[in-house]
Amino acid sequence: MREYLLTLCVTVAVTYLLTGPVRKFAIAAGAMPEIRARDVHREPTPRLGGIAMFGGLCAGLLVADHLRNLNGVFELSNEPRALLSGAALIWLVGVLDDKFELDALIKLGAQMISAGVMVMQGLTILWIPVPGIGTVPLTQWQGNLLTVALVVITINAVNFVDGLDGLAAGMVCIAAAALFLYAYRIWFGYGIESAAPATLFAAILMGMCLGFLPHNMHPARIFMGDSGSMLIGLVLAASAISLTGQVDPDALALFAGGERNATHAMLPAYIPLILPLTVIAIPMADLILAIVRRTWKGQSPFAADRGHLHHRLLELGHSHSRAVMIMYFWSGLIAFGTVAYSVHSATMWIVMAIAMLSAVGLVLLLLPRFTPRTPRWAEGLVPPRYRHAARAAEAAAEAAAQDASGTEPKPARPIAAGVSGVNGATAVGPRSRFPDRRKAESTR
């Protein structure tokens, strides 16, 4: 676990430190598109955040290759090299799209080629364990076709949900955390070594998202763009494929008491092959609804609109931050609820807890106008924009009333002398602004 934590921390640090220079580079390169009708942000924001995330991916793989316990993943498996090859190709196409706005069909072809590159190097689905039946082996073309389809669907699901500040990075981070816990349990709990690559990929993906989130939370200073959303979607798909398509259920059957019990125990990892990912069920649902909605209107499935789930939350009256938190809540509930049920599927407490949390989520959806107020003792633990919300609202209302009446508003707080103001000017108090006025008047 310590080596996984070290890899995670290195990935977080590299991604975080690279995002600042990447933002300056994006501004200099002109990767700041005009605000479109479907956009939520109000000011042009640079993209190309995927450059920093790809740097974090490379740093995480490099560090893991030099660690004693994780080095075996690179020696016994070709999956890390397959992931890096596919990620580099999809990242390069994403960078070009962030700058030049490529056609949707070109990006779709690039996604399929990236998945094909990983398949050619061994990262593919070999079998499908079906609950109640057992392991169903796949032919080579069946496994390759299913792998490409899973990668393309996951990439577009993440790309579609990238509509609010911090939404895609946070939801993928939650999915990666749940996948890491499950893969780590199979790897160290049952001793199945083939789950080691998926555990490593999930840890690195968590680091990529956590390192980028501080720069991408509302109000975002930089967007990940398609170079980031397609990249993390591919890494997430590779983690799921490595876990579900490479882990032998017969090996798990030795610990679970039979092949059927083993298949049932690994059910949360097999469901991703159907949906394809329970850990990103919300983005998948958004993807399916978007395709149905646009096709019903006679539009292209890749035509952008404002009908996504996060847009509907904003239309209900939720604020930007609250809409993101609600999406986080539902993603975490589905992902971690599935993992918890896989560990203790015989108890009903997990089901009852999930049902209660689902009721809480429904209440949050129906209360868009509820404004939480941070207690005074907790103001030091929250960002500045959440402090004294009531006072700020009252001050804004008073200022609006004074503007309507035509009176000059009173300053809220006197500015102390020597404090730098706008444009580097030095602001002084009202008495010290003209220190020689009284002296001049007395000499007149």
pLDDT of the residue at 414? 40
Residues with Cβ < 8 Å from 428, sequence gap 6 or more? 415, 417, 418
Residue 303 lies in a domain: no
Residues with Cβ < 8 Å from 227, sequence gap 6 or more? 47, 48, 49, 50, 51, 53, 54, 91, 94, 95, 97, 98
The structure tokens listed for 80 are 């890390």
Residue 319 lies in a domain: no
Instruction: Please check the confidence at residue 350 and state whether its pLDDT lies above 70.
Output: yes
pLDDT of the residue at 1? 80
- Quickly list DSSP for 81-141: HHHHHHHHHHHHHHHHHHHH---HHHHHHHHHHHHHHHHHTT-S--EEEETTTEEEE--HH
Provide the number of structural domains found in the chain: 1
The amino acid sitting at 400 is A
Main-chain dihedrals φ then ψ at residue 128, nearest 5 degrees: -125, 110
Instruction: Report how far Cα 229 is from the mean position of its chain's Cα atoms.
Output: 8
Q: How far apart are CA 347 and CA 311, in angstroms?
A: 37
Place of tokens 């006197």: 414
Residue 158 lies in a domain: yes
pTM: 0.73
Q: How far apart are CA 155 and CA 233, in angstroms?
A: 4
As a whole number, the mean pLDDT across the chain is 75
Instruction: Please check the confidence at residue 412 and state whether its pLDDT lies above 60.
Output: no
From 169-178, 317-326, 377-386, the region with the lowest mean pLDDT = 377-386
pLDDT of the residue at 230? 94
- Helix (H) or strand (E) holding 386, with range, is none
Q: How far apart are CA 419 and CA 170, in angstroms?
A: 38
Main-chain dihedrals φ then ψ at residue 166, nearest 5 degrees: 80, 5
Residue 381 lies in a domain: no
pLDDT of the residue at 59? 96
CB contact at 8 A, 153 and 290 = no
Better-scored residue on pLDDT, 90 or 333 = 90
Residue 310 lies in a domain: no
Place of tokens 């395709």: 291
The structure tokens listed for 196 are 């080691």
Q: How far apart are CA 437 and CA 115, in angstroms?
A: 76
Better-scored residue on pLDDT, 366 or 195 = 195
Residue 333 lies in a domain: no
Residue 398 lies in a domain: no
Tell me the three state secondary structure of residue 419: strand
pLDDT by residue (tens digit) across 216-270? Answer: 887 888 999 899 999 999 999 998 888 876 666 555 555 555 455 555 555 544 5
Q: Place 152 in a pLDDT band, splitting at 50, 70 and 90.
A: very high
Q: Place 15 in a pLDDT band, splitting at 50, 70 and 90.
A: very high
Instruction: Report how far Cα 167 is from the mean position of its chain's Cα atoms.
Output: 6
Residue 344 DSSP class? S
Residue-range definition of the domain harbouring residue 202: 2-280
Compute the residue count for the chain: 444
Residue 155 lies in a domain: yes
Main-chain dihedrals φ then ψ at residue 139, nearest 5 degrees: -70, 170
Q: How far apart are CA 88 and CA 94, in angstroms?
A: 10
Of 283, 282, 278, the C-alpha closest to 336 is: 278
CB contact at 8 A, 23 and 46 = yes
Better-scored residue on pLDDT, 420 or 399 = 399
The amino acid sitting at 270 is Y
